[in-house]
Amino acid sequence: MPGKPGIVCVEGAQEPCEEFWSRIRKLTWKRILIRHREDVPLSSSASGSQVEIQKLRKFPALEEKAFDVHGNRGNHMDLGQLYQFLQEKGCADVFPMYFGIEGR
């Protein structure tokens, strides 16, 4: 989600996710941190774990979400719309972790 606040959600096997974080952390951010992380144990076979990962995905396609913009410079997203989006994806429980308020 671009603007303020900005959120990046990364799904996949642990090693590629950690590599992604390593690369994105080096960019010129004012501040970026991992607020929440979920590690899910998978079966030991490579093909089986790939199938499991696909079943666990909440965001099957790469997409940038931009909700109604607010603020005097047009850089603050509508958190209510973000909450609704997360609720549709089954992730509404992370909203209070990120923003410290209950979503509506």
Question: How much is the pTM?
Answer: 0.68
| 73 burial level (CB within 10 Å; 0-12, 13-18, 19+) | exposed
Per-residue DSSP letters for 31-73?
-------------SSHHHHHHHHHHH-S--S-------EESTT
Q: Are 26 and 20 in contact (CB under 8 A)?
A: no
pLDDT 10s digits, 52-86 = 888 888 887 888 877 776 655 566 677 888 889 89
Average pLDDT across the chain, whole number? 80
Among 2-6, 91-95, 99-103, which is the least confidently predicted range?
2-6
CA pair distance 59, 1, nearest whole angstrom: 13
Which of 88, 83, 93 lies closest to 5, judged by CA?
Answer: 83
- The DSSP symbol for 30 reads S
Residues 6+ apart with CB under 8 A from 96: 102, 103
Q: Are 103 and 96 in contact (CB under 8 A)?
A: yes
